[in-house]
Amino acid sequence: MDLDSFLKGLTQLRRGVTPYGPAPHKPILILTLLDLIESGHISDDRFYINAELVSAFHENWDLLAPTGFKEDFTLPFYHLQNDKLEGFAFWNIQTLPGALLDKHIKSIHTLAEIVEFASLTLPVFHLLTQQKNRDAVRLSLIHTYFPFSKERYFEGRGNRGSYLHAVEDYVLNEIPKVMRLQVAEEEWVYVRNWTFKKMVPEIYQNTCAISGMKVSSSQGKYLIDACHIVPFSRDQDDQVTNGIALCPNLHRAFDAGLITIDSEYRVMVSRSVTEDKSHPYALTALDGKNILLPRERYQWPSQENLETHRTSKFKC
């Protein structure tokens, strides 16, 4: 695969026909892939469905998509695999073991549960690891598909990453809870949820707030979960004040109402618990223990949320 062949192929993307004109989703996704490679988020040709990918797609959509089109990350992510360069597909989707992806799935959450990662063919990926080639591809895509948005696009690239930073500030309780961005609702929820799962363990130093457990690996993996105090399905609250970092067994115990946190941030254990109290992981040994709290007080678990957990979930 040489650059000229790749550029020629990109000018012939198969795009859906709509009342507003040919769909812009595929070229916007490819521009997003360029951004992730350029920013260093992608180094091994694996594009995971995460906040970085979905947020970067949104930012490019905001700069380029003509009025009338509906933003939908899932459309190009799935359908780009049907496009070919010199007779070969250049976008491949790897599903998780046992999962089947044989049609377009509109839900980002569902798609993320099925897909392990997507990748470019190695010749294309290697081509795009070079800055001059990315610049050429970017210019070709803009000139071909978005000539009337060219100026806004290049001016707006200086704010790349601002959407994800805004979501992180929201989740970290650094901006008002009423804040909303003009984005597709599911995308907004997905990026918030993903950010919640990432940021809650981080503000607890990847340590279980109750047991003090802290386990990591050389691959950067941790065993600490971001636990919602009040279920997201109830209040759609995924700011860190509705979260607490827990190891998996205590996460399950908290969700089951076997433990809770009192108004002084101490552990309460349900009297309904039956266990071997001599076991090193016995829940009753934690009763009355002070929990680990984030460094910033405005990020501590909300007592209003803890009260809701105590009254609606905890089994006294």
Per-residue pLDDT tens for 157-170?
888 888 888 889 98
Q: What pLDDT, on a 0 to 100 scale, did the predictor assign at position 62? A: 92
Q: Which two tokens stand for residue 26?
A: 């595929």
Q: Which residues of the chain have pLDDT under 70?
A: 1, 176-184, 217-221
Domain positions in the chain are: 3-160, 202-312
Backbone angles phi, psi at 246, to 5 degrees: -140, 150
Each residue of 120-129: pLDDT tens digit? 999 999 999 9
Distance (Å, whole) CA 71 – CA 62: 9
pTM, to two decimals: 0.85
* DSSP three-state, residue 94: strand
Backbone angles phi, psi at 155, to 5 degrees: -70, -40
Each residue of 247-264: pLDDT tens digit? 999 999 999 999 999 999
Contact status, residue 78 vs residue 105, Cβ threshold 8 Å: yes
